Amino acid sequence: MDPKMANRKLIRPDMNELKKELPSRSVRRKQSPPEQTNAEEFYYLKQMAAKTPMVVILTDGEELRGWIEWYDKGSLKLNRNAGPNLLIQKQVIRYMFKEEELKRRGKREVNNND
Protein backbone atom coordinates (compact mmCIF):
# COMPACT_ATOMS: atom_id res chain seq x y z
CA MET A 1 0.00 0.00 0.00
CA ASP A 2 1.21 3.49 -0.78
CA PRO A 3 2.37 5.35 2.39
CA LYS A 4 0.53 8.55 1.31
CA MET A 5 -2.77 6.69 1.18
CA ALA A 6 -2.32 5.26 4.69
CA ASN A 7 -2.47 8.71 6.33
CA ARG A 8 -5.80 9.63 4.75
CA LYS A 9 -8.86 9.84 6.98
CA LEU A 10 -12.23 8.59 5.88
CA ILE A 11 -14.76 11.42 6.20
CA ARG A 12 -18.36 10.36 6.44
CA PRO A 13 -21.29 12.79 6.72
CA ASP A 14 -23.30 12.68 9.92
CA MET A 15 -26.61 10.95 9.08
CA ASN A 16 -28.56 13.02 11.63
CA GLU A 17 -27.54 16.23 9.86
CA LEU A 18 -28.63 14.81 6.50
CA LYS A 19 -32.03 13.81 7.89
CA LYS A 20 -32.58 17.36 9.15
CA GLU A 21 -31.82 18.81 5.71
CA LEU A 22 -34.18 16.45 3.83
CA PRO A 23 -37.88 17.34 3.85
CA SER A 24 -40.03 15.04 5.94
CA ARG A 25 -42.57 12.71 4.34
CA SER A 26 -45.55 14.81 5.39
CA VAL A 27 -44.22 17.81 3.44
CA ARG A 28 -43.81 15.75 0.28
CA ARG A 29 -47.46 14.67 0.33
CA LYS A 30 -49.72 16.54 -2.09
CA GLN A 31 -51.98 18.89 -0.19
CA SER A 32 -55.72 18.59 -0.61
CA PRO A 33 -57.53 21.54 -2.23
CA PRO A 34 -59.05 24.12 0.10
CA GLU A 35 -62.54 23.36 1.36
CA GLN A 36 -63.72 26.85 0.50
CA THR A 37 -62.70 28.91 -2.53
CA ASN A 38 -64.64 32.04 -1.54
CA ALA A 39 -66.15 32.17 -5.06
CA GLU A 40 -69.68 32.19 -3.62
CA GLU A 41 -68.79 35.04 -1.26
CA PHE A 42 -67.21 37.04 -4.10
CA TYR A 43 -70.28 36.54 -6.32
CA TYR A 44 -72.76 37.60 -3.62
CA LEU A 45 -70.71 40.65 -2.60
CA LYS A 46 -70.43 41.78 -6.22
CA GLN A 47 -74.20 41.44 -6.82
CA MET A 48 -75.01 43.12 -3.49
CA ALA A 49 -72.76 46.12 -4.18
CA ALA A 50 -74.29 46.69 -7.62
CA LYS A 51 -77.85 45.85 -6.43
CA THR A 52 -78.08 43.63 -9.50
CA PRO A 53 -81.65 42.51 -10.26
CA MET A 54 -81.66 38.72 -9.84
CA VAL A 55 -83.99 35.87 -10.70
CA VAL A 56 -84.08 33.08 -8.09
CA ILE A 57 -85.63 29.75 -9.05
CA LEU A 58 -86.69 27.62 -6.08
CA THR A 59 -86.74 23.82 -5.95
CA ASP A 60 -90.54 23.81 -6.39
CA GLY A 61 -90.20 25.86 -9.61
CA GLU A 62 -91.32 29.18 -8.13
CA GLU A 63 -89.56 32.21 -9.66
CA LEU A 64 -88.63 35.17 -7.46
CA ARG A 65 -87.20 38.50 -8.61
CA GLY A 66 -85.29 41.10 -6.62
CA TRP A 67 -81.81 42.02 -5.47
CA ILE A 68 -79.72 40.45 -2.74
CA GLU A 69 -79.44 42.65 0.37
CA TRP A 70 -77.37 40.25 2.50
CA TYR A 71 -76.49 36.60 2.88
CA ASP A 72 -74.98 34.19 5.37
CA LYS A 73 -73.98 30.54 5.38
CA GLY A 74 -77.53 29.18 5.13
CA SER A 75 -79.75 31.94 3.73
CA LEU A 76 -80.03 35.17 1.77
CA LYS A 77 -82.36 38.16 1.89
CA LEU A 78 -84.02 39.13 -1.37
CA ASN A 79 -85.44 42.68 -1.60
CA ARG A 80 -88.30 43.08 -4.05
CA ASN A 81 -90.11 46.03 -5.63
CA ALA A 82 -93.39 44.16 -5.93
CA GLY A 83 -94.08 42.35 -2.69
CA PRO A 84 -92.42 41.92 0.68
CA ASN A 85 -88.72 41.26 1.14
CA LEU A 86 -87.92 37.57 1.59
CA LEU A 87 -85.50 35.56 3.69
CA ILE A 88 -84.74 32.45 1.60
CA GLN A 89 -82.92 29.37 2.81
CA LYS A 90 -80.18 28.37 0.38
CA GLN A 91 -81.28 24.72 0.48
CA VAL A 92 -84.53 25.61 -1.36
CA ILE A 93 -82.76 27.54 -4.14
CA ARG A 94 -82.32 25.49 -7.31
CA TYR A 95 -80.36 28.21 -9.13
CA MET A 96 -80.19 31.97 -9.67
CA PHE A 97 -79.08 34.29 -12.43
CA LYS A 98 -79.03 37.96 -13.36
CA GLU A 99 -82.33 39.32 -14.67
CA GLU A 100 -80.53 40.92 -17.62
CA GLU A 101 -79.80 37.42 -18.95
CA LEU A 102 -83.55 36.98 -19.56
CA LYS A 103 -83.56 40.14 -21.67
CA ARG A 104 -80.54 38.94 -23.66
CA ARG A 105 -82.14 35.53 -24.22
CA GLY A 106 -85.33 37.21 -25.42
CA LYS A 107 -83.39 39.28 -27.98
CA ARG A 108 -81.62 36.16 -29.28
CA GLU A 109 -84.91 34.31 -29.72
CA VAL A 110 -86.40 37.24 -31.66
CA ASN A 111 -83.29 37.40 -33.90
CA ASN A 112 -83.37 33.65 -34.50
CA ASN A 113 -87.03 33.75 -35.58
CA ASP A 114 -86.37 36.42 -38.26
How does the average pLDDT of the chain come out, rounded? 82
Q: Is residue 90 part of a domain?
A: yes
Confirm whether 32 is domain-assigned.
no
- pTM exceeds 0.85 for this model: no
In a domain, 23, yes or no: no
Strand order across the 63-71 sheet:
86-89, 75-79, 63-71, 54-58, 93-98
CATH number of the domain to which 76 belongs = 2.30.30.100
The domain in which residue 106 lies consists of: 37-113
Evaluate whether residue 48 is within a structural domain: yes
27: confidence class by pLDDT, cuts 50, 70, 90: low
Q: What is the pLDDT of residue 111?
A: 57
Q: Which residue did the predictor score with more confidence, 23 or 92?
A: 92
68-106 burial: b if 16+ Cβ within 10 Å, else e: beebeeebbbbeeeeeeeeebeeeebeebeeeeeeeeee
Confidence category of residue 82, pLDDT binned at 50, 70, 90? confident
Considering the domain boundaries, does residue 72 fall inside one?
Answer: yes
